[in-house]
């Protein structure tokens, strides 16, 4: 037939075109991404919130914090110095810092400039309300041999405002400055820990950098151990590195394992080397999936690759459809076998695509990508199975092994025997009872932590670093918006008062807000005015010999200090901690963040923001967990909708009753899987639900196979068994993933496949079910 | 696999805040570090037989209690007259230092392993210097116990003169310290006579110890002060 020559040529032309497109897409290297933020729901419609979040996240993805610990302080410093030099030389970092050379002139200049704007509320109130006490304390400080030392010499600051600002700076953590080396050191567990900080040139989502940093760290650990020192490290980069290593490991395991298993199965069943060509549709499917993904999203995520590698098992089903006909169709010829199974194949493609594409409508970019990858991959696999493979297999005389058929026949007999004794209706009741019991025990659990497959050692180290340094930043922060800077500072102060209460109750370790750095313009003005009253109270200073002229000059100078706004206050080294908090002018107003430390109860935060205008809590973690829970419901709705669509599609070939039956079986299988999760004590997560969503799509295929019964029930059962086995080989292996989300997915798909296979025979016409 | 958002949120445990303490750490440090260091040098009550630092150090541990009075002169560049204050001190090897300012105003200080404390109407109040405290006490105690290695790490020590009349000069090693002060001079004979602290910006402080004696044990009141 002409189509037997035309189709392969057409397909090869298409394949060449797709290959060319792939080549163009990969011209700058692999368009892969490892940024997990792309995969979680980005339902932040607010650009400002997004910007704030990125600002808070940025250091995480670029900085690494290392503690070098040694019982001997000097040794710790020495090792830190060596590592610092090594890291600097590595070229991976734009900045490596293990010691501090403070810029004192800049500090002094900032303190002098900020005498009105940076004076803490307590000191400000004393100067305004109790000038006598204020002067008295200053006199005391001048004599005090212990705390009287100030960065700014007395003659530049007779009133001692800079000293007060110095002492009121919020202090956090347990890290101190080592006087001789300038190193930052914390003492804990009988060791001195020198802090080493490095900032990488790229971020954690670079594909190479995290691995390079992790390697460097490992080498540094070895080096430190030689000197008897211990390293503790924490960084988003390390999670990225471990994630990437894990991903490539799992792609190898899942992909490799599935491939080997399927090839072995093909060889054992069909006993012809050329039957391994059935793997061509798999490769073509992968190619189509990747190209479609990159074309639509600009790149492909590594997670798509991991989950997508399970497509192998589904793609190989198409050739299996007609290969398995060789048990009944003798002599087997490729093109006739294809023609016989083409309607079933096409239906199977349509139903699978509907199932996969239903995933695309969940608010998870991760699943959208997987859906596109899979749907395009299936189309590719289908096309190559229909157009190319029969040509490749032309002339192959398939004489499959008989033992699989014997197994299938025995299974069929067992089933018939069972049905003779126990009618289907009774079985259904039992199954439903099983389901009810399992569902009763099913717990739902959704937590972002399911996405984390981070090794416990990384977490422990990060916790140790937090404990030793005393820094425990939280992921939540407040976003404060206002019309102008004055209003912004007022709003921050209002929130600050509430946070202060949490700090006093030990619910919060501390917080950082711009209003701690700079006083309101009105407050600066109050100080200026209060200075007028000071001459009446400064006699004690005159008694010490301070020239009255010097004091008068100082007051005049203070009053002439310009009112500092946020931008001015952020200049200078003291403002460093606050700098990231300022978002500047946005949307005709201004905005800033308030960061938090050491939070014990996140639920308390939401309450703090209540009824404060312009104040918003940004709690990405909590928000995501809520989205997870909400998505479960929409996922279930999607599942039902996709079933409805499939029913519509199947009415044409099978009639309404048949279509309903074919769709009801996968649904029942999904229900049984849910119940099994319950019986097994496994939680229902969003991911298990997604898995079941997928199973519905795949197992409709089995029901169709069993319904059509080309070549008799046993042959159809064998075809279903092979298809289920190959699919299970790839999805089942996902259950071994160390990422809870992925393994959960794998488990539910495995369960779903098992039940689908068991239930599929009931898709047959009434007479078979009797 | 996934470089999970959650993980990076967990990693936030450490994030950039470490950088925040840079200037602040420096301030804290300067605010309360130097004075105790200087006072620790009281410990160099030199019954030194030679000019050797080690020998001087060896003598540190010997007198267990020193009583004396002091005159503190603060020379500020802009003042024609120094700020003069007077008082008494008690240095006890096992306890720490009591520094009792008498004129022109009265104020009691105590340095011990617990940190610096100031006495007010309610008794001793430890000054909040959590971050710098541990380090400075470590240094202080090291010196009290005759361990000059702590000092030698941060300063160049130069000893001149003889046992009855010696001068110890401390020059800061690190850039950081050099930005703050030039030099510390300690003069002594059998006991320390004076300590002079020269700041880089031109101010200086001189502490003159008078009537120092190692004869008396701690009085009950003094023991009580150290005990609290």
Q: Give the C-alpha distances (Å, rounded to integers) separating A255 from A259, A283, A286.
A: 6, 12, 11
pLDDT for res A449 = 63
* Residue A139 forms part of a structural domain: no
Which of B77, B80, B205 is the closest to A153 by Cβ? B77
Q: Work out the percent of chain A whose per-residue pLDDT is above 90.
A: 20
Residue given tokens 């039992």 in the structure block: A430
* Whether residue A465 has pLDDT greater than 80: yes
Sign of CA dihedral B46, B49, B54, B58: negative
* Residue A138 forms part of a structural domain: no
| Residue A67 and residue A213 in one domain | yes
DSSP 8-state secondary structure symbol assigned to residue B15? T
pLDDT for res B59 = 65
CB contact under 8 A, B28 and A580: no
For A144-279, where are the alpha helices, taking DSSP H only?
161-168, 209-226, 236-250, 257-270
Task: Report the chain A residue with the minimal C-alpha distance to residue B99.
Answer: A145
Q: Give the C-alpha distances (Å, rounded to integers) separating B215 from A285, A596, B60, B86.
A: 95, 55, 15, 22
Mean local confidence (pLDDT), A309-333: 82
Of A526-540, A604-618, B62-76, give the range with the top mean pLDDT: A526-540
Mean local confidence (pLDDT), A17-30: 87
Is the pLDDT higher at B35 or at A563?
A563
CB contact under 8 A, A155 and B153: no
Residues of chain B below pLDDT 70: 1-51, 56-61, 113, 128-151, 153, 176
* Whether residue A248 has pLDDT greater than 50: yes
* Min Cα–Cα distance to chain A from B98, Å: 12
pLDDT for res A197 = 86
Q: Give the C-alpha distances (Å, rounded to integers) separating A560 from A112, A163, A531, A563.
A: 12, 20, 11, 9
Residue given tokens 């059509």 in the structure block: A708
Sign of CA dihedral A736, A740, A742, A746: positive
Q: Which domains does chain B have, with CATH numbers?
A: 17-227 (2.50.20.10)
| Residue A747 and residue A629 in one domain | yes
The CATH number of the domain holding residue A512 is 3.30.70
- Split at pLDDT 50, 70, 90, the class of A769 is very low
| Residue A456 and residue A491 in one domain | no
Does A331 sit behind a cis peptide bond, omega within 30 degrees of 0 on the bond before it?
Answer: yes
CA atoms within 13 A on the CB side of A458: 25
pLDDT for res A635 = 75
| Residue A394 and residue A446 in one domain | no
DSSP 8-state secondary structure symbol assigned to residue A31? -
| Residue A625 and residue A642 in one domain | yes
At A159, list the tokens: 């009133």
* Residue A635 forms part of a structural domain: yes
At A199, list the tokens: 């900032």
**A581, A593 Cβ separation under 8 angstroms:** yes
**A184, A178 Cβ separation under 8 angstroms:** yes
Is the pLDDT higher at A523 or at A246?
A523
At A243, list the tokens: 């994630």
| Residue A612 and residue A691 in one domain | no
The count of structural domains within chain A is 4
CB contact under 8 A, B35 and A149: yes
CB contact under 8 A, A210 and B3: yes
Q: Per-residue pLDDT tens for A310-321?
A: 777 888 888 888
Is the pLDDT higher at A648 or at A303?
A648
First to last CA, chain B: 57
- Split at pLDDT 50, 70, 90, the class of A125 is very high
pLDDT for res A313 = 80
* Residue A124 forms part of a structural domain: no
Q: Per-residue pLDDT tens for A363-402?
A: 777 778 888 998 999 999 999 999 988 888 887 777 888 8
Is the pLDDT higher at A206 or at A314?
A314
Among candidate residues A400, A422, A450, the one where a domain is terminated: A400
Mean local confidence (pLDDT), A287-316: 83
CB contact under 8 A, B7 and A452: yes
Domain of residue A477 covers 472-518+564-618
| Residue A219 and residue A283 in one domain | no
| Residue A606 and residue A685 in one domain | no
Q: Per-residue pLDDT tens for A687-698?
A: 788 788 778 878
* Residue A8 forms part of a structural domain: yes
The CATH number of the domain holding residue A408 is 1.20.1640.10
Of A281, A284, A279, the C-alpha closest to A18 is: A284
* Residue A699 forms part of a structural domain: yes
CB contact under 8 A, B131 and A247: no
Which of B8, B10, B17 is the closest to A459 by Cβ? B10
Q: Per-residue pLDDT tens for A445-464?
A: 766 666 666 677 888 888 88
For chain B, where are the alpha helices, taking DSSP H only?
5-11, 17-32, 34-40, 53-60, 130-144, 149-154, 175-178, 220-227
CA atoms within 13 A on the CB side of B133: 14
pLDDT for res A129 = 93
CA A50 to chain centre: 15
Residues of B in contact with A448 (CB under 8 A): 4-6
Q: Work out the percent of chain A whose per-residue pLDDT is above 70.
A: 94
* Residue A326 forms part of a structural domain: yes
Residue A307 sits at the vertex; the CA angle it makes with A303 and A311, to the nearest 5 degrees, is: 140
Q: Per-residue pLDDT tens for A737-768?
A: 777 777 888 888 899 999 999 888 888 764 44
| Residue A208 and residue A288 in one domain | no
Of A67-71, A131-135, A242-246, the range with the lowest mean pLDDT is: A242-246
| Residue A728 and residue A746 in one domain | yes
* Residue A149 forms part of a structural domain: no
Sign of CA dihedral A414, A416, A422, A425: positive
Among candidate residues A618, A642, A663, the one where a domain is terminated: A618
Of A170-174, A220-224, A417-421, give the range with the top mean pLDDT: A220-224
pLDDT for res B7 = 33
Average pLDDT over chain A, rounded to an integer:
84
Mean local confidence (pLDDT), A345-355: 86
| Residue A500 and residue A634 in one domain | no
By three-state DSSP, how is residue A215 classified? helix
Q: Give the C-alpha distances (Å, rounded to integers) separating A177 from A67, A173, A195, B133, B173.
A: 14, 12, 10, 11, 15
* Whether residue A548 has pLDDT greater than 50: yes
pLDDT for res B51 = 54
CB contact under 8 A, B18 and A173: yes
Residues of A in contact with B33 (CB under 8 A): 179
| Residue A302 and residue A421 in one domain | no
Per this entry, what is the length of chain B? 228
Residues of A in contact with B174 (CB under 8 A): 179-182
Which of A197, A240, A302 is the closest to B18 by Cβ? A197
* Min Cα–Cα distance to chain A from B188, Å: 20
**Global ipTM:** 0.74
């Amino acid at each position: 037939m002409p189509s037997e020559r035309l189709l392969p040529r057409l397909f090869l032309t298409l394949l060449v075109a797709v290959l060319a497109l792939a080549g163009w897409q990969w011209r700058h290297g692999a368009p892969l991404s490892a940024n997990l933020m792309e995969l979680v729901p980005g339902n932040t419609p607010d650009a400002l919130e997004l910007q704030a979040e990125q600002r808070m996240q940025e250091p995480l993805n670029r900085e690494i914090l290392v503690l070098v610990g040694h019982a001997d302080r000097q040794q710790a410093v020495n090792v830190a110095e060596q590592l610092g030099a090594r890291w600097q030389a590595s070229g991976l970092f734009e900045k490596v810092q293990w010691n501090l050379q403070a810029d004192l002139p800049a500090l002094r200049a900032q303190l002098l400039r900020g005498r009105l704007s940076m004076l803490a509320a307590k000191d400000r109130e004393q100067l305004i309300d109790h000038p006598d006490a204020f002067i008295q304390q200053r006199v005391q400080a001048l004599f005090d041999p212990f705390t009287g030392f100030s960065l700014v010499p007395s003659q530049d600051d007779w009133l001692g405002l800079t000293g007060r600002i110095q002492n009121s700076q919020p202090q956090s953590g347990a890290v101190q400055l080592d006087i001789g080396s300038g190193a930052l050191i914390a003492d804990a567990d009988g060791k001195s820990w020198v802090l080493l900080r490095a900032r990488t040139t790229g971020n954690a989502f670079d594909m190479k950098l995290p691995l390079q940093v992790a390697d460097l760290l490992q080498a540094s650990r070895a080096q430190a151990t030689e000197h008897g020192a211990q390293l503790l490290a924490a960084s988003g980069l390390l999670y990225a590195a471990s994630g990437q290593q894990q991903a490539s490991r799992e792609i190898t395991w899942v992909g490799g394992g599935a491939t080997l298993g399927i090839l072995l199965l093909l060889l054992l069943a069909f006993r012809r080397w050329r039957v391994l060509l059935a793997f061509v549709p798999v490769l073509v499917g992968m190619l189509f999936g990747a190209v479609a993904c990159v074309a639509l999203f600009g790149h492909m995520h590594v997670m798509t690759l991991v989950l997508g590698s399970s497509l192998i098992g589904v793609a190989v089903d198409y050739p299996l459809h007609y290969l398995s006909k060789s048990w009944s169709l003798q002599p087997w010829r490729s093109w006739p076998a294809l023609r016989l199974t083409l309607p079933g194949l096409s239906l199977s493609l349509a139903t699978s695509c509907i199932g996969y594409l239903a995933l695309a409508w969940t608010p998870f970019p991760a699943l959208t990508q997987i859906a596109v990858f899979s749907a395009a991959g299936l189309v590719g696999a289908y096309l190559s199975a229909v157009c190319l493979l029969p040509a490749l297999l032309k002339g192959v005389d398939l004489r499959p092994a008989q033992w699989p058929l014997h197994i299938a026949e025995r299974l069929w007999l067992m089933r018939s025997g069972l049905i003779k004794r126990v009618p289907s209706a009774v079985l259904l009741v039992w199954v439903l009872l099983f389901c009810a019991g399992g569902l009763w025990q099913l717990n739902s659990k959704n937590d972002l932590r399911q996405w984390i497959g981070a090794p416990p050692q990384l977490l422990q180290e990060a916790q140790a670093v937090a404990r030793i340094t005393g820094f425990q930043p939280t992921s939540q922060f407040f976003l404060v918006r206002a019309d102008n800077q004055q209003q912004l500072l007022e709003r921050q102060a209002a929130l600050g008062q509430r946070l202060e209460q949490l700090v006093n109750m030990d619910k919060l370790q501390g917080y950082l807000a711009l209003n701690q750095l700079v006083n309101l313009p009105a407050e600066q003005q109050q100080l200026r005015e209060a200075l007028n009253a000071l001459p009446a109270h400064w006699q004690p200073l005159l008694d010490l010999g301070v020239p009255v002229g010097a004091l008068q000059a100082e007051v005049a100078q203070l009053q002439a200090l310009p009112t500092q706004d946020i931008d001015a206050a952020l200049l200078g080294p003291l403002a460093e901690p606050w700098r990231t908090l300022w978002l500047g002018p946005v949307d005709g107003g201004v905005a800033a963040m308030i960061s938090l430390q050491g939070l014990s109860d996140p639920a308390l935060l939401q309450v703090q923001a209540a009824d404060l205008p312009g104040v918003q809590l940004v709690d990405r973690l909590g928000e995501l967990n809520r989205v997870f829970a909400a998505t479960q419901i929409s996922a279930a709705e999607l599942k039902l909708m996709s079933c409805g669509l499939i029913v519509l599609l199947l009415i044409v070939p099978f009639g309404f009753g048949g279509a309903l039956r074919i769709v009801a079986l996968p649904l029942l299988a999904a229900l049984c899987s849910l119940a099994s999760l319950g019986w097994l004590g496994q939680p229902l997560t969003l991911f298990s639900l997604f898995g079941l969503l997928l199973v519905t799509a795949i197992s409709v295929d089995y029901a169709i196979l069993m319904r059509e019964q080309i070549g008799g029930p046993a042959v159809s059962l064998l075809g279903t068994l092979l298809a289920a086995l190959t699919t299970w080989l790839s999805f089942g292996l996902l259950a071994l993933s160390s990422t809870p989300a992925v393994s959960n997915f794998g488990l539910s798909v495995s369960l779903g496949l098992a039940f689908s296979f068991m239930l599929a025979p009931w898709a047959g016409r009434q007479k078979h079910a009797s | 696999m996934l470089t999970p958002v959650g993980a990076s949120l967990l990693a936030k445990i450490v994030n950039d805040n470490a950088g925040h303490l840079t200037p602040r750490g420096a301030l804290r440090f300067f605010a309360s570090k130097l004075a105790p260091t200087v006072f620790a040098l009281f410990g160099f009550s030199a019954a030194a037989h030679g000019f050797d630092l080690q020998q001087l150090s060896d003598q540190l541990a010997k007198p267990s209690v020193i009583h004396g009075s002091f005159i503190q002169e603060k020379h500020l560049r802009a003042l024609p007259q120094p700020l003069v204050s007077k008082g008494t001190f008690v240095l006890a090897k096992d306890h720490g230092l009591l520094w009792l300012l008498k004129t022109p105003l009265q104020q009691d200080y105590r340095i011990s392993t617990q940190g610096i404390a100031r006495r007010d109407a309610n008794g001793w109040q430890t000054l909040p210097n959590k971050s710098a405290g541990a380090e400075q006490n470590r240094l202080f105690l090291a010196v009290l116990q005759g361990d000059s290695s702590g000092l030698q790490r941060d300063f160049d020590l130069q000893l001149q003169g003889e046992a009855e009349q010696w001068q110890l000069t401390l020059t800061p090693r690190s850039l950081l310290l050099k930005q703050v002060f030039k030099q510390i001079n300690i003069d002594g004979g059998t006991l320390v006579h004076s300590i002079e602290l020269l700041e880089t910006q031109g101010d200086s402080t001189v502490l003159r110890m008078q009537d120092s004696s190692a004869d008396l044990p701690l009085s009950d009141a003094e023991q009580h002060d150290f005990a609290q």
